[in-house]
Amino acid sequence: MKQAREIVEFLGQLDYAKDERNPPDSLRRGRFKAGWHAATDRGKNYTDNTLKILTWDTGVGKNGA
């Protein structure tokens, strides 16, 4: 599945100091989607300090893609 591979590659390029994520489940999937929509649809910009800790919300915040 090309899309899944692209997502894994994207996440592997993120620069963060701490990964606070737990394995995915329905709640975490919802948090990821909320972060995705905040970054892409609403144009939310996460601060550099926020992005030092990887969460399901901030995992897309750096590039919004």
pLDDT of residue 1: 46
Whether this model's pTM surpasses 0.85: no
Residue 1 vs residue 35, higher pLDDT: 35
Residues 57, 44: contact at Cβ < 8 Å?
A: no
Q: How far apart are CA 25 and CA 4, in angstroms?
A: 16
Question: Domain boundaries in the chain?
Answer: 2-60
CA atoms lying within 13 Å on the CB side of residue 29: 3
pLDDT in tens, 14-60: 777 888 877 778 888 888 888 888 888 787 777 888 778 777 776 65
- In this predicted structure, what is the pLDDT of residue 64? 43
